[in-house]
């Protein structure tokens, strides 16, 4: 992008932007359905992706309901589910059902901001009686595999009730598996082993969902249920050519069954007071088996897990005035994980630490917050959460601990002009302990083991965030964000070494810092000679510093990517009833530090081109050319003869794999 173009965008104040000023003065920017008409969106998710300056947040995969929230509401409410992703829920809403999408920056009275500085609220049409969708799709791969899928879903009003359902059957291919050469080289450069690696992965499953919204007890209630089943299989064949012909074969099988029921009830207790109650229950069963055979040795690792979560949450919201509101409430949750694993090598059982574990967590949280719009240009939000949890582990290790944390938050939004906005946030965030970190595991593909660690503390972080957003032209936006993290009890990898064994385990490694810079650009291209063209680009640069528990030296947090980003171009051709585009998901690198090795994962850029033809508003044909560059996936392990602090480099295991381009087709028909 040229310097002159950037200056022009920052200086632009258009009639369209000025027309939005009254709405912005109330902290809400409405985007009516007509705003998206030229793009011919299929779903609410397609519409969300076109909103200038808005970055979609799916939410976090954490225990509890409040902390897992994304940044999109539907008719002012969050879906009473955790097992269904927010993106999936938005894709089930047909574009013709959407009246408008409101973007709320800095908070608005009566709106649950979910702890976010920016929220999108999808407002549905009230005159739609129902709509059905039927779609079929498949990927076609160069090795002859296909991934057929079929979806049937819909919603229907019957009196004052609305019924919703969805059925999906799918197959998939793991694009993280591939083929390529493998080599092991000593610290002196001598080749120790060479071979050809062939990985394949994929599976099948189904998802069934149902729900109803109905008046209940002078309020409005919604009930939903979901059932998931998935089977995933992965295999590795390493054909060794040097120093002697041989073969290593690894096979993994994974089964998952998951069910969820949820309910939400909302009632106005007066003109200014509203009560909302949410409850849900999840159960998940997984069965995993991994085997290896290299001709001289063999092994079998099996693991069975049962996990569950039960949540109850209540929120009371009081609108004091059109510019001031308060809310408070509480949440209680019970979580558990039962895990049992076995490891047999050459017919003999091998004892692993933390192989038979039950983890339970009882957690309670109370919270309160207030939103105040002191002027049309300035708003404030402040809140406090108090969390108390008791985590108990039984089985191979018996341990119980009670943790209490205060989590204050404050944010400010200032809009000096209709096209400029500044947002500031300060918050104390507390991480969650991953129950899987309490359990040991074995990876035959790399020959590494990980021990469970019961003596973990969640990381605590003070976060300071500053954002500047500039709107320009009709639907352009530039968003710059800087985030600073001050971390206590950073979670990474720690060594567990004892008589006759040495393992890595998740653990706390002390304090650390992390910084992120994000840039988001939405650039309409009509003024640059591309009618209907739109360019969207996002980039994030990250740095961090912690003390390595093995060497005592400073390094980056394991798994943090120095850079990640994407660039997306699309063009709407309404006269031809076509939209086409090219998406590029830029490659990244991440590094993991274990006590005796450093693992580096490099993922190449993924490029996809697509075209969608809509001969009628309710019928679409889509074709995608995926992975046009044949993305590379390289895993490199630098293995030391012992702890990295005292032992020298022993060898380097490098596996550059590639995944071939493929084609994807979809036919989509809606009714009603």
Strand partners, 277: 265, 314
Q: Is the dihedral of CA 411, 417, 418, 419 positive or negative?
A: negative
The secondary element (H helix, E strand) that includes residue 90 is helix 86-91
Q: Report whether 629 contacts 605 (CB < 8 A).
A: yes
Phi, psi of 438 (to 5 degrees): -85, -10
Q: Report whether 494 contacts 503 (CB < 8 A).
A: no
pLDDT digits (tens, 9 = 90+) for 421-453: 999 999 999 988 888 777 777 676 666 666 667
Strand pairing report for 420-430 and 448-450: unpaired
Phi, psi of 629 (to 5 degrees): -90, 0
Tell me how far apart the alpha carbons of residues 580 and 622 are, in angstroms, rounded to a whole number: 9
Tell me how far apart the alpha carbons of residues 409 and 407 are, in angstroms, rounded to a whole number: 7
37: left (phi over 0), alpha (psi -120 to 50) or beta: alpha
Record the pTM: 0.90
Tell me the CB-side half-sphere exposure of residue 223, using CA atoms within 13 A.
6
Point out the residues of the chain with pLDDT beneath 50. Answer: 1-25
3-state secondary structure 491-509: EEEEEEEECCEEEEEEEEC
Domain boundaries, the chain: 3-671
DSSP state letters, 6-75: HHHHHH---HHHHHTHHHHHTTEEEEEGGGGGGG--SBHHHHHTTSTT---------SSSGGG--SEEET
The secondary element (H helix, E strand) that includes residue 480 is strand 476-488
Tell me how far apart the alpha carbons of residues 177 and 199 are, in angstroms, rounded to a whole number: 5
Tell me the CB-side half-sphere exposure of residue 75, using CA atoms within 13 A.
13
Going from the C-alpha of 11 to that of each of 53, 355, 478, the distances in angstroms are: 17, 62, 12
Q: Report whether 326 contacts 370 (CB < 8 A).
A: yes
**Domain 3-671: assigned CATH number:** 2.40.170.20
CA-nearest of 440, 254, 435 to 341 is 440
Neighbours of 447 (CB within 10 A): 12
Phi, psi of 376 (to 5 degrees): -60, -20
3-state secondary structure 269-336: CCCCEEEEEEEEEEEEEEEEEEEEECCCCEEEEEEEEEEEEEEEEEEEEEEEECCEEEEEEEEEEEEE
Q: Is the dihedral of CA 241, 243, 247, 253 positive or negative?
A: negative
- Which residues, in sequence order, are CB contacts of 561 under 8 Å at separation 6+? 542, 588, 589, 590
């Amino acid at each position: 992008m040229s310097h002159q173009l950037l200056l022009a965008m920052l200086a632009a104040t258009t009639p369209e932007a000025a027309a939005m000023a009254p709405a912005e003065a109330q902290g809400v920017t409405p985007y009516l359905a007509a705003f998206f008409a030229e793009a011919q969106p299929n779903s609410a998710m397609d519409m969300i992706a076109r909103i200038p300056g808005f970055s979609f947040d799916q939410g976090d995969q954490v225990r509890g309901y409040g902390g897992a929230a994304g940044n999109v509401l539907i008719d002012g409410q969050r879906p009473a589910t955790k097992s269904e992703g927010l993106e999936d829920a938005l894709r089930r809403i047909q574009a013709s059902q959407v009246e408008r999408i409101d973007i709320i920056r800095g908070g608005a009275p009566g709106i649950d901001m979910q702890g976010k500085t920016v929220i999108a609220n999808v407002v549905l049409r009230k005159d739609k009686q129902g709509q059905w969708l039927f779609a079929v799709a498949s990927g076609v791969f160069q090795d002859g595999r296909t991934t057929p899928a079929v979806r049937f879903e819909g919603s229907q009003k019957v009196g004052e009730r609305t019924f919703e359902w969805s059925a999906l059957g799918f197959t998939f291919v793991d694009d993280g598996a591939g083929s390529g050469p493998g080599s092991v080289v000593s610290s002196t450069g001598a080749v120790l082993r060479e071979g050809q690696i062939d990985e394949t992965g994929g599976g099948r499953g189904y998802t069934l969902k149902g729900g109803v919204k109905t008046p209940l007890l002078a309020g409005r209630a919604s009930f939903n249920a979901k059932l998931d089943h998935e089977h995933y299989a992965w295999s590795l064949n390493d054909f060794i050519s040097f120093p002697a012909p041989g073969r290593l074969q690894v096979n993994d099988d994974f089964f998952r069954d998951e069910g969820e029921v949820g309910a939400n009830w909302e009632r106005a207790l007066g003109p200014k007071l509203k009560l909302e109650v949410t409850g849900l229950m999840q159960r998940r069963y997984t069965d995993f088996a991994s085997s290896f055979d290299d001709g001289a040795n063999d092994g079998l690792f099996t693991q069975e897990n049962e996990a569950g979560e039960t949540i109850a949450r209540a929120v009371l919201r009081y609108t004091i005035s059109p510019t001031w509101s308060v809310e408070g409430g509480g949440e209680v949750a019970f979580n558990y994980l039962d895990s049992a694993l076995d490891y047999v090598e050459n017919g003999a059982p091998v004892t692993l630490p933390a192989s038979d574990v039950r983890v339970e967590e009882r957690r309670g949280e109370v919270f309160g917050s207030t939103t105040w719009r002191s002027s049309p240009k300035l708003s404030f939000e402040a809140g406090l959460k108090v969390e108390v949890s008791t985590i108990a582990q039984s089985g191979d290790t018996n341990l119980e601990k009670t943790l209490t944390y205060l989590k204050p938050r404050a944010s400010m939004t200032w809009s000096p002009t209709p096209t400029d906005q500044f947002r500031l946030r300060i918050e104390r965030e507390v991480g969650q302990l991953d129950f899987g970190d309490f359990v040991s595991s074995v990876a035959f593909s790399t020959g590494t083991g990980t021990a469970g660690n019961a003596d973990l503390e969640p990381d605590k972080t003070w976060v300071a965030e500053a954002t500047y957003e500039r709107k320009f032209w009709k639907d352009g936006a530039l968003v710059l964000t800087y985030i600073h993290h001050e971390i206590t009890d950073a979670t990474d990898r720690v060594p567990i070494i004892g008589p006759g064994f040495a393992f890595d385990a998740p653990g706390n490694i002390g304090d650390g810092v992390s910084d992120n810079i994000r840039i988001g650009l939405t650039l309409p291209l009509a003024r640059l000679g591309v009618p209907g063209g739109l360019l969207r680009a996002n980039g994030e640069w990250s740095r961090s510093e912690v003390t390595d528990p093995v060497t005592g030296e400073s390094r980056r947090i394991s798994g943090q990517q120095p850079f990640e980003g994407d660039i997306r171009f699309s063009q709407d051709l309404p006269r031809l009833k076509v939209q086409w585009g090219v998406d590029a998901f830029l490659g990244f690198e991440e590094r993991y530090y274990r006590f005796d090795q450093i693992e580096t994962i490099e993922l190449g850029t993924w490029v996809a081109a697509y075209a969608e033809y809509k001969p009628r508003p309710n019928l679409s044909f889509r074709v995608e050319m995926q992975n046009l560059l044949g993305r590379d996936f390289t895993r490199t392990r630098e293995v030391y003869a012992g702890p990295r602090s005292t032992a020298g480099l022993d060898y380097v295991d490098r596996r550059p794999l590639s995944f071939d381009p493929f084609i994807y087709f979809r036919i989509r028909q809606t009714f009603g």
